[in-house]
Structure 1
Amino acid sequence: MRPVSSSLAFSVAAMGIATYSAMDVLMKGLSITSGAYSAVLWRSFVGVMLLGTVFLLKRRAFPGRAALKLHALRGATGGISVLLFFWGLVRVPMAQGVALTFLAPLIALFFAAVLLGETIRRAAILGSVIASLGVLAIAAGEVQAHASTAHVLGSLAIFAASIFYAYSLILLRQQAQVADPLEVALFTSIVLTGLLLVGAWWFAAVPSVAQLSAIGGAAVLGSISAIALAWAYSHAEAQVLAPVEYTAFVWAGMFGWWVFDERVSAYTVAGAALIIAGCVFAIRGTAARAPQTEAAA
């Protein structure tokens, strides 16, 4: 593999995060008009078509049983996470929703201890305390603003999504040992789409003609983000690239204000800062992946 500079890898990763944040805008809009279930289903379906075409053109071999088992488990886990996230994102500002997802890499450290036998370091414990203060700050903002029941439920849904996503990060580590990024992205999406199709008759709506461009755009942006991040992480250490993940908060704040006229409260900014500080403190010296790298799969 041809060596590249860390700054180039960092720049590509930053582009991947910005692209994914733009996809979130389209997905929030689709979730508002037709529900999170439909939005995730049709974006995943088009994503499978795009990634599947690349997979076939490259004449890749079909994955083995061990890889398929991991793809199936992560597709199901990731599916729950994505549905909860976009259901919640309809009800809370984008910046607040993205801030809560930053808990995922921290939660993943504890999952790794239970499932992979990794040692929980003191830094992880202290980092979780700092991040917890951030969650409390965001909650205090909701109390101060007399948040509606829907707003609170949206925040809880995104918090739950972070837990499922943290588990999917553990599965991603295992997938990386047996499959390349293209295979991981494609077959995880196939599983997710297949599971959503089972309930489509009851929970999904047929997209209107006006929605097709947004669905296609979300699928394209998600695929571009996945490729950019996979390339960046193949050329630089995760601990070097981890800070770029938190630029998603800036993009979420900007896009939320521009597209949905959302305002970012001081409580949300303070909470995000504490959560980010806790995560950075907890993963110092480790190669844990940070939040958004997986979601595009």
Structure 2
Amino acid sequence: MSNTTSGAQGSYTQSILLMCVGVACLSANDAIAKTLTSGYSPLQILFLRNVIALPITIVIALVMGGPSALRSYRPVTHLMRGALWVVATMMFFTSFIYLGLAEATALIFVAPFFIILISSLFLGEEVGWRRWLAVLAGFLGVLVIIHPGAATFQLIALLPVATALVYALLMLSARWVDPRESVWTLLVYLTGAGALLSALIVPFVWVPVRLGDLWLFAAIALFGTAGMTMMTQAFRLAPSVVVAPLDYTALLWATLFGWLIWRESPGAMTFLGAAIIIASGVFNILRDQRQAGS
């Protein structure tokens, strides 16, 4: 085996490990957020998470990208992205109050399909019929999970879907970030913009933080930042076709955390819908990789 092949495999193994641990960290972040929603507004949770995480992200950016990682050439773009992130996170955290963790997690997986939809309808990108079928299958999975028309249907179940739409806009907005800026710059400014924008509104919903909850706010900042950092690094070390499907392991973690903490037991329709969404998403990832290699 050549040194090049051995090095590539080692890089892939490292990226897979980073992605799996990163997804687990973000799932823990979501579980802690759901716990905190019983006593605090989603906006206050988001604000404190960003304030605590900001110095951590600055240190990470300096270590990984050097002083240049703190420079932005288009700060207004980052402010716009921060606004999208605040809206998306608030909606997702709010859904935790009413939905199970696994159900909310499964529904947010439709974000890649919104990206395809927006790219085709508004950005003029060409989307083949196979991709359209995958998009339709993904939204079919959503219908299976929320089963509209059934007696158990809750309108609040659309919140994670709306979150996925705003998250898709956030991902697409990265195209307007100056190409001279690194992913570490995006991480710092997204966290900073989120802290700044949420600070403008949080006084209206603020409640005193209980001393016993301080460690939970610290944990959500640490897990969230660690998860985003590891997942970012995983995509830098290996092709997306290797690491992107591992994002769906979040459903396993969400199911586990939901059962351990709240004794949530997702129904068969949730798992069926999630399986459809995941299968469609993996198809799109493989399709992207095949087209990129052709």
- How does 1:17-32 map onto structure 2 within 5 Å? 17-32=23-38
Structure 2 counterpart of 1:278, one-letter code: S
2:54 touches 2:188 (CA, 8 Å); kept in 1?
Answer: yes
Q: Secondary structure at the match of 2:98?
A: coil
Structure 1 residue aligned with 2:67 = 59
Query: TM-score with structure 2 length normalisation?
Result: 0.88
Which amino acid in the other structure matches residue 102 of structure 1? F
Give the corresponding residue for 2:93.
86
- Is the Cα contact below 8 Å between 1:141 and 1:267 reproduced in 2? no
Aligned partner of residue 285 in structure 1, secondary structure: helix
Measured after TM superposition, the shift of residue 116 of structure 1 is 4.1
- Aligned equivalent of 1:190: 192
Residue 88 and residue 24 in structure 1: after superposition, are their counterparts in 2 closer, same or farther (change >3 A)? same
How far does residue 183 in structure 1 lie from its aligned partner after superposition?
1.3
Aligned to 1:5: 11
2:22 to 7, 16, 37: 16
Q: Which residue of 1 aligns with 2:3?
A: none
Summarize the alignment of residues 239-278 of structure 1 with structure 2, pairs less than 5 Å apart. 239-278=241-280
1:55-85 CA-partner distances (Å, limit 9, x unpaired) = 467433642433x232112111111001000
The residue number in structure 2 matching 1:236 is: 238
Looking at structure 2, the residues matched to 105 and 35 of structure 1 have their Cα atoms a distance apart, in angstroms, of 28
- Residue aligning to 2:48: 42
> Does the 8 Å CA contact 2:58/2:70 hold for their aligned counterparts?
no
Contact in 1 for aligned 2:82/2:190 (Cα 8 Å)? yes
Could you tell me which amino acid in structure 1 is paired with residue 204 of structure 2? W
Residue 107 of structure 1 corresponds to: 114
TM-score normalised by structure 1 residue count: 0.87
CA offsets 1:191-225 (integer angstroms, 9 cap, x no match)? 11111111111123232211110000110111111
Aligned-residue offset at 1:167: 0.8
Question: Comparing 117-126 with 246-255, which one deviates more in the overlay?
Answer: 117-126
Who is 1:215 aligned against?
217
2:140 paired with 1:133: yes
Taking the aligned partners of 2:44 and 2:273, their CA distance within structure 1 comes to: 31
Which residue of 2 is the match for residue 291 of structure 1? none
Alignment identity in percent?
24
Cα distance in structure 2, aligned partners of 1:60 and 1:31: 37
How far does residue 178 in structure 1 lie from its aligned partner after superposition?
3.4
| Alignment of 1:203 onto 2:205 | yes
Shift of 1:27: 0.9
Q: Is the 8 A contact 2:145 2:270 kept in 1?
A: yes
Within 5 Å, which residues of 2 pair with 1:273-288?
Answer: 273-286=275-288
Q: Partners of 2:196 and 2:220 in 1: how far apart?
A: 19
Q: CA RMSD in A?
A: 2.1
Residue 242 of structure 1 deviates from its aligned partner by: 1.4
- Counterpart CA distance in 1 for 2:286 and 2:47 is 37
Distance 1:55 1:235, change over 3 A: closer
**Corresponding residue SS for 2:287:** coil
Gaps of 5+ in 2: 1-6, 290-294
SS, match of residue 68 in structure 2: coil
Q: Which segment is superposed worse, 28-37 or 176-185?
A: 176-185
Query: 205, 213, 226: which one pairs with 1:224?
Result: 226
Conservation of the 8 A alpha-carbon contact between 1:80 and 1:164: yes
TM-superposed CA distance for 1:283, in Å, is 3.7
Flag the structure with larger Rg.
Answer: 2
